[in-house]
Amino acid sequence: KNWTEARRYCREKFTDLAIVEDVEDEAALIRLADLSQMVYPSYSYRAWIGLYDTKNIWMWSLADRDFHRNGETEFRNWDGGYPNSYGNENSKFVVKLKLKLAVDSSVDLNESAVQQQILEQLKEKLQDQHLDNIKLSWNKQASGKIFDKDNKIEV
C-alpha cells in the first residue's frame, strides 16, 4: 500500500499512523517495540519512520532538528545502487513535482479528458526513460482546481 492507503486503512480499522516528532517519541517507540521481531535483525536500526503528509505538504516525521546531524533533514537522492529491492522489498518514495504549462488559450486544463491526456503523455515520457512502475496523479490547488491560470507570458 502507499502511504495514503495505509493511513486510510489504519484510520478505518484502528487509529492514525504514528508520527514521531521528537526524541521522546522515538524513545517511547523503542521501549514498546520488540526489536528482535523486526525485518532485518542484523541492522542496528530496524525500523524507519520517514515522511508524513499534512495538507499535501510532506514533512519529516521526526521534526526535532537537534536529533539530526547537519544536512539529514534535507532531500537526498537514493545512494548509488538503491533502491535495490533488498529481500524482495520494494522501497517506495514520493516525488512532488510542480508543472507550469504554456498552452493554446482554447484548451481547458481543468477538463478531465485534457488532464488524463497530459498524464498519459507524461507517463509515456517516463517509460521512455525505463521508469515503468510509476503512479501519476494530480493535486488540487487551494482554489479546488488542478490548474490555476497564471499571468499571461509572451513566448
SS3 100: coil
Answer whether 0.75 is exceeded by the pTM. no
Instruction: Say what percent of the chain tops pLDDT 70.
Output: 49
Assess whether 115 and 78 both reside in one domain.
Answer: no
- Residue 124 near residue 110 (C-beta atoms within 8 A): no
Assess whether 42 and 17 both reside in one domain.
Answer: yes
Average pLDDT, the chain: 69
- Please check the confidence at residue 32 and state whether its pLDDT lies above 80: no
Assess whether 82 and 112 both reside in one domain.
Answer: no
Assess whether 68 and 10 both reside in one domain.
Answer: yes
What is d(CA 29, CA 48) in angstroms, rounded to the nearest whole number? 11
**pLDDT value at residue 67:** 59
**pLDDT value at residue 155:** 45
Question: Is residue 132 one of the residues assigned to a domain?
Answer: yes
- In this structure, the dihedral spanned by the alpha carbons of residues 103, 143, 126 and 2, taken in order and rounded to 10 degrees, is -170
Which structural domain range is residue 43 located in?
3-88
Question: Is residue 124 one of the residues assigned to a domain?
Answer: yes
Assess whether 83 and 136 both reside in one domain.
Answer: no
Assess whether 53 and 79 both reside in one domain.
Answer: yes
In Å, what is the CA distance from 63 to each residue of 5, 20, 27, 125, 135? 23, 8, 14, 35, 28
Question: Is residue 93 one of the residues assigned to a domain?
Answer: no
Assess whether 18 and 71 both reside in one domain.
Answer: yes
How many domains does one find in the chain?
2
SS3 54: strand
Assess whether 75 and 122 both reside in one domain.
Answer: no
Assess whether 74 and 118 both reside in one domain.
Answer: no
In terms of Cβ atoms closer than 10 Å to its own Cβ (0-12, 13-18, 19+), residue 66 is exposed
Question: Is residue 108 one of the residues assigned to a domain?
Answer: yes
Assess whether 68 and 105 both reside in one domain.
Answer: no
